[in-house]
Amino acid sequence: MELNSLTVGNPITLLIERLVYLSIGIFFIVALYKGVQRGRKN
């Protein structure tokens, strides 16, 4: 019974997955921005 609900997708795990992808995206945007600022400074 529980296996059937896992195949559909647990809303909590979907939320956690989206938060992880969002944090990875924010990390890359901040890293790119800091790289550009460092390039301008030199």
How far is Cα 7 from Cα 9, in angstroms, rounded to an integer?
A: 5
Write down the pLDDT at residue 36.
92
Write down the pLDDT at residue 24.
98
Question: What is the domain partition of the chain in residue ranges?
Answer: 2-41
- pLDDT, averaged per 10 consecutive residues of the chain (42 residues), comes to 60 91 98 91 68
Write down the pLDDT at residue 39.
84
Instruction: Quote the pTM value.
Output: 0.64
